[in-house]
Structure formats: structure tokens, C-alpha cells
């Protein structure tokens, strides 16, 4: 296509050629009607084979319509649209500050990179929320204003992915984008919000290290390295780069889209965290890296003949189990048919399908440079104890309350105990917080619990009917003696001490964390109730009762969540954000009134009590130190987990198998406080 400098397109005088891209030419022009400078992008018809031209023109026309719907301070505005001969053109606002590409010839400080890219991330977040994926984010498409503010341009190859407009104008398997900044899935024509997350991650990587993560002589060579080589650690090139910044890049540049940040909103929020705390943040969740189905099915014994008074409880349990089993079976049958759909809905759909199939996504983690907490690495050599008996009886559906869940003495005498008092276990280094004696409100109404379920529910298929929450009724007052509670969930490093001392058995499924010392400060998972009980006895503590757990989580003011009434992923790890377990103590804003971490989300927690959905109905109005029912359907699990939305402090869950293990269940311990 000829250079149009000096000519007129409608009322626009072409002043100079600014750039020539793969599908368009961009000019600086003068709008004679409004007397202002503008940028005009006109399609290059000669850049495409004739058989593809029709699709290309459609794609360009969609760009105009997509951009016209966008109004954000960090997105270049569309001012007009028209045709010049047979070629359509866009009129955009003109920015004279050049492009980011011209400014990153050498590494810049990570703080400056965050300053420039955070507004771009917010602009992309806005576009995604309006159904628009950019698909070609690169430094040349980030323009700089005279005041140094960044703006995102060139939505020429956007893909509209909302509603009925889901389509691929390029045909199956045709890659669109700039190879050096393309996500691996774009090479096969698959794209989505995760592709933009990856591209922005490449830019951030390039800005702070002075080089792109994968360098090759050909585009195909770039792709080959993306899928066969681990990401070069940024700190290899910038040794003083904060560890949290490196971890951010490891997530953003994960090979699979489901392993990256789950949304541009999440990515932008982490940008803000880095900016606000100067890179000191160390608790950024890592997503799973490789899927592997876990096909272990533990046989469930049929219920023994029920007493008449337990008929209603059995019906409750049976219906709940049937719903879960039906969900798993449906997914197994239809999974082959919905793979294309899962590609569209991305990580949330994939994780949820695998979760409800009873599978476990076993990651192949990109190595992290992290330091595990070392408070749990001492003292077992100086301690003597009697190992827990190895005989473990599988619990039938109807079980009598075990004996021997003893109350132990404090680790050290405390002359004056009050709210805020702490002590450290000499056995495993755990910090314990003091919970004073007194009365608190326990339970919730089914109506309120259902409303909270709906408020936090991001999945339309989750059943939030009130009937699912009847086990929280009625609300009642409970008096508890003072006790101590672990500050965090028991970690892998701490649990290994018990295994080494022969006080605990190794988790039946080691998973990616337990076998990797770099994840020592992650909560131990794949542990049974028996494992949890054994650990607490070994550490001279015990599992908390259900009542103790709820008081420690919500305090005495009847709040819904440990932190109050608000809800959001800044408070807890839930609703698949970030989609996997995180380090214990990662959510400072989510602490309970007694300064306990992760009482909502991350992993569910075994407690001492057996589960009976009608147990609360059998209690007096004012109950003292309840120990749970003498008969029940397995053991209670509290707190929800990273895949759940039901993380209210009063929410009750259970598993009717004491030897049941999942990647979403761990525990913490408690201890009596003697006068």
C-alpha cells in the first residue's frame, strides 16, 4: 500500500507515517473540522492473501465496535470510523510521547516498571470486563502521553468473547499475535484473558531484566522453548530483585493459562501490593502446574441399622452425598464433550471439574526461591513421649465418641492471662493465642447462611438452598472455659517433625508440597482425622472442639467471618483465588479477633467432634463446654477451603470417613488453659 502522506482521507490531512504493522499503517493526521491532531490506522489490504481478506476486514470492523464500547483513562480512545476507497480506517487520539518499546532498551527498576504497567493492567481489566481480549499486548502497543502516563492501543486483533460473539475469525489453529510476547496457547489459535496476562508478564520481565524470557532465532524457536524449558529465573539476571517480584513473574508466565493469575483484576491487585509494600510481600500463591487424576476410591461401609431418632439425620446425610456423587458422575460422563467449553471458561472450570471428580491436580512447580519458617525445626530431640498406638479402626457411618482425646496441661505457666497473650510450643515451634473464658453466639440461621452462600457464589451450579444449612440452626449461646489455639494451620515442616519422631504417619498422598522442603510453611494436607489427632497428642495439645473452633474464628460479637462482614479475596484464600493452598498466615486482613490466621479458606480443618446435623437441636439454650454428639456421621470439618465459597465461621462440613484425605483439608491444634 502506498504512503498516503500529504493526501486527505475525508476531513483528515495525512501529515506523516508513524508506523507500519502486519495488518495496518498508522499515520499522524490533522482533523480540519475539530482542529486537532489525531492518529489514523488504515488497513493494508496488500498484507493478506485474497482468500483471507474477508475475515481480516471483519476483524478490523469488530475492532472499531469493540473499542467504541471502551472508555478508560489508560485505553486509547476511538474518535471516528470510516472507509478510504476499499480500506476501512480508525481515527484515534494522538499521543506524542512515543511508545514503551522506545523506552526499555535497558533494564529499568522494578518499581518504575510497576508504575507504568499497573495502569495498563487496570485498562486491560476494564476491557476484559467488557468482553474484549487484546491478544497483542507488547511494548509497541503501549503509548506514552506527554505527562509520562501509559495508554494501551492497537486492539486490531481483539477477540470478542462475550455472549453470542464467541468465534474465531481466523479459523482453527491460526496464531494471532507477536511471537515474542504471545502466550503458548496462542500458537494454536486458543486465546483468552490468560493470554493477555502472559503478554503483560513478558513485558514486565523484559523491563526489569533487560531481556525477554525466551529468545530464539525464529518464532517457532520461541514457542519450542516456551513449552520445553522452564522460565529463566529473573533473579539470575537481577540478583537484588525482590523475591516477591520474581514470584509474581513465575505465576504470570506459567505455561498453562489455568496456572496463571485467574484474572487481570487479580494480577493488577498484586501489582498494587508490590507497589504499596515496596516488594516485601512474600505470600503470593502459586497455581498448580500439571494435572494428574487421583483415582483412589475408599470403600464406604453401608450405614448400620439406624435408631428411629436418627432417621432425619440419615436422610440429610444421604441426600447431600447423593448430590455430590451425581455431580461427579455427570462430569465423568460429559467431560469429553465439554473440553472445548472448558477452554473458554479457563482455570475455574477445569479446577472445579477435577475437584468434583475427586481428582488431584499434581503440580510440577516452577521452583521458587523462598525461605520456609524455621520456628518449627527444633526441640524434637529433647522430647520424650509415648507413640500413639498404630491400631486404627475404620469408622462406620454411625460411630461412638472415641475416648482418649485428653485435655493436656499448658506448655508453661502464665501468671496473668488476658486477650493477646501468646506462648510458643517447645515441641513444634507453633505460636498459640489465648482465648479467654466466656459466652459466645454459636450457629446461624439457614436463611442468613443461604444468603451468604449466594453473595459469595461465583458458580451458578452451586446449591445455596436453605435446606443445605439447617445443620447450623438454631443459634444458641455457648460458654467455654479459656483455651489456647494455634495461630496457623499445622505446616508440612511441623508435621514432618512428628513423622520423624514416629508420632505420626506420613500423609497417604504426599502431593507437591510435603515432599518439597521449599513448601515447609504450607499447611499439611492429605491427612486423615486420625493423623490430625495423633499430631495434636504428640505435640501435647489436642484437636479443638467444634465450639472452640467457632469461637476462635468469630469471637463474641456474632460476626459472619473472622474479620467481620465484608467479603473479598484480600481476606482469605477461597473461591479458587488463587486456586491452590497458600502459605499459612498469608492473609493479614483476614485474622480472627484472637489473631488467628486462615480460619476461613485455605484448607478446611478437622475438629474433635463427630458430626450430627441435628446436634444443635438437642442442646439447651445455654450450654457449657459442649463436646459434640456421642454418635455421628464422621467428623466435623470447619473453615472451608481454597475451592469453596462457604467460608462463614458458622458453616459446618463433615466427612463420614475418618480415613478420608483431600488436598483441601488440614488442621490446627488447641490446648486447655489452666488457672
Tell me which residues are annotated as active site: 136
What spatial distance separates the first Cα and last Cα of the chain, rounded to whole Å?
89
- Are the C-beta atoms of residues 671 and 542 closer than 8 Å to each other? yes
Q: Going by DSSP bridges, is the β-strand pair 12-20/24-31 parallel, antiparallel, or unpaired?
A: antiparallel
Q: What Å distances lie between residue 27 and 18, 80, 90, CA to CA?
A: 5, 14, 11
Which residues, 6 or more positions from 625, have their beta carbon under 8 angstroms from its beta carbon? 479, 480, 481, 545, 547
Instruction: Output the nine-digit C-alpha cell for 92.
Output: 484515534
- Are the C-beta atoms of residues 143 and 119 closer than 8 Å to each other? no
Q: Is 128 exposed, middle or buried (0-12, 13-18, 19+ CB in 10 A)?
A: buried
- Are the C-beta atoms of residues 427 and 538 closer than 8 Å to each other? yes
The whole-angstrom separation of Cα 147 and Cα 149 is 6
The whole-angstrom separation of Cα 494 and Cα 294 is 26
The whole-angstrom separation of Cα 116 and Cα 147 is 12
Give the number of other Cβ atoms within 10 Å of residue 41's Cβ: 24
List 83's β-bridge partners, or say none: 88
Going along 354-481, which residue ranges are E strands?
A: 399-400, 422-424, 431-435, 438-442, 476-480
Return the H-helix or E-strand segment holding 498. Answer: helix 492-500
Q: Please choose, from the candidates 496, 523, 653, the residue with its C-alpha nearest in 3D space to the C-alpha of residue 580.
A: 523
- Are the C-beta atoms of residues 435 and 485 closer than 8 Å to each other? yes
The whole-angstrom separation of Cα 541 and Cα 533 is 9
**Three-class SS state of 379:** coil
Task: Enter the DSSP assignment of 292.
Answer: B
Output b/e per residue, 246-273; b: 16+ Cβ within 10 A: bbbbbbbbbbbbbbbbbbbbbbbbbbeb
Residue with cell 463436646: 627
In residues, how long is the chain? 675
Which residues, 6 or more positions from 534, have their beta carbon under 8 angstroms from its beta carbon? 388, 498, 503, 504, 505
The whole-angstrom separation of Cα 642 and Cα 58 is 42
Amino acid at each position: 500500500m502506498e504512503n498516503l502522506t500529504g493526501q486527505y482521507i475525508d476531513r483528515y490531512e495525512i501529515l506523516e507515517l508513524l508506523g507500519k504493522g502486519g495488518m495496518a499503517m498508522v499515520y499522524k493526521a490533522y482533523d480540519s473540522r475539530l482542529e486537532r491532531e489525531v492518529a489514523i490506522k488504515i488497513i493494508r489490504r496488500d498484507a493478506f492473501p485474497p482468500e483471507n481478506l474477508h475475515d481480516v476486514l471483519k476483524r478490523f470492523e469488530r475492532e472499531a465496535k469493540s473499542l467504541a464500547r471502551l472508555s478508560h483513562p489508560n485505553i486509547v480512545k476511538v474518535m471516528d470510523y470510516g472507509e478510504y476507497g476499499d480500506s476501512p480506517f480508525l481515527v484515534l487520539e494522538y499521543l506524542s510521547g512515543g511508545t514503551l518499546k522506545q523506552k526499555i532498551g535497558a533494564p529499568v527498576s522494578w518499581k518504575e516498571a510497576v508504575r507504568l504497567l499497573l495502569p495498563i493492567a487496570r485498562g486491560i481489566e476494564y476491557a476484559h470486563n467488557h468482553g474484549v481480549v487484546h491478544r497483542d499486548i507488547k511494548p509497541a502497543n503501549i503509548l506514552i502521553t506527554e505527562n509520562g502516563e501509559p495508554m494501551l492501543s492497537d486492539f486490531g486483533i481483539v477477540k470478542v468473547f462475550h455472549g453470542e460473539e464467541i468465534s474465531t475469525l481466523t479459523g482453527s489453529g491460526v496464531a494471532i499475535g507477536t511471537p515474542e510476547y504471545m502466550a503458548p496457547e496462542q500458537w494454536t489459535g486458543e486465546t483468552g484473558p490468560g493470554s493477555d496476562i502472559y503478554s503483560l508478564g513478558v513485558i514486565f520481565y523484559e523491563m526489569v531484566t533487560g531481556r525477554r524470557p525466551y529468545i530464539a532465532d525464529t518464532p517457532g524457536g520461541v514457542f519450542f522453548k516456551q513449552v520445553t524449558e522452564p522460565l529463566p529465573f529473573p533473579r539470575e539476571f537481577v540478583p537484588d530483585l525482590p523475591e516477591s517480584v520474581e514470584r509474581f513473574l513465575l505465576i504470570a508466565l506459567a505455561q498453562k493459562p489455568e496456572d496463571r493469575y485467574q484474572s487481570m483484576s487479580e494480577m493488577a491487585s498484586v501489582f498494587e501490593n508490590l507497589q504499596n509494600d515496596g516488594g516485601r510481600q512474600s505470600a503470593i500463591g502459586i497455581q498448580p502446574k500439571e494435572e494428574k487424576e487421583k483415582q483412589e476410591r475408599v470403600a464406604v461401609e453401608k450405614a448400620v441399622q439406624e435408631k428411629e431418632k436418627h432417621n432425619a439425620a440419615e436422610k440429610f446425610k444421604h441426600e447431600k452425598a447423593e448430590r455430590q456423587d451425581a455431580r461427579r458422575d455427570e462430569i465423568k460422563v460429559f467431560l469429553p464433550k465439554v473440553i472445548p467449553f472448558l477452554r473458554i471458561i479457563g482455570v475455574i472450570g477445569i479446577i472445579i471439574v477435577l475437584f468434583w471428580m475427586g481428582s488431584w491436580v499434581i503440580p510440577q512447580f516452577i521452583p521458587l526461591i523462598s525461605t520456609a519458617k524455621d520456628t518449627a525445626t527444633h526441640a524434637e530431640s529433647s522430647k520424650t513421649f509415648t507413640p500413639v498406638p498404630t491400631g486404627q479402626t475404620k469408622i462406620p457411618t454411625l460411630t461412638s465418641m472415641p475416648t482418649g482425646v485428653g485435655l493436656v496441661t499448658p506448655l508453661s505457666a502464665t501468671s496473668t492471662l488476658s486477650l493477646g497473650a501468646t506462648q510458643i510450643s517447645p515441641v513444634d515451634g507453633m505460636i498459640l493465642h489465648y482465648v479467654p473464658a466466656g459466652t459466645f453466639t454459636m450457629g446461624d440461621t439457614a436463611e442468613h447462611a443461604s444468603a451468604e452462600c449466594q453473595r459469595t457464589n461465583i458458580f451458578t451450579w452451586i446449591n445455596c438452598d436453605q435446606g443445605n444449612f439447617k445443620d447450623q440452626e438454631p443459634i444458641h449461646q455457648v460458654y467455654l472455659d479459656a483455651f489456647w489455639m494455634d495461630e496457623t494451620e499445622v505446616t508440612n515442616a511441623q508435621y514432618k517433625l512428628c513423622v520423624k519422631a514416629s508420632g505420626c504417619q506420613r500423609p497417604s498422598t504426599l502431593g507437591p508440597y510435603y515432599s518439597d522442603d521449599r513448601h515447609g510453611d504450607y499447611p499439611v494436607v492429605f491427612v486423615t482425622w486420625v493423623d490430625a489427632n495423633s499430631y495434636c497428642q504428640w505435640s501435647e495439645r489436642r484437636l479443638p472442639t467444634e465450639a472452640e473452633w467457632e469461637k476462635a474464628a468469630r469471637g463474641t460479637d456474632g460476626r459472619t467471618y473472622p474479620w467481620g462482614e465484608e467479603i473479598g479475596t484480600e481476606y482469605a484464600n477461597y473461591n479458587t483465588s488463587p486456586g491452590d493452598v497458600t502459605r499459612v498466615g498469608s492473609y493479614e486482613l483476614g485474622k480472627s479477633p484472637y489473631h488467628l490466621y486462615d480460619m476461613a479458606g485455605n484448607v478446611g480443618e478437622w475438629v474433635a467432634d463427630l458430626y450430627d446435623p441435628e446436634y444443635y437441636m438437642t442442646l439447651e439454650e445455654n450450654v457449657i463446654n459442649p463436646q459434640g454428639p456421642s454418635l455421628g456421621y464422621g467428623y466435623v470439618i470447619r473453615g472451608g477451603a481454597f475451592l469453596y465459597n462457604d467460608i462463614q465461621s458458622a458453616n459446618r462440613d463433615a466427612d463420614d470417613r475418618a480415613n478420608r484425605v483431600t488436598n483441601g483439608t488440614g488442621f490446627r491444634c488447641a490446648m486447655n488453659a489452666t488457672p
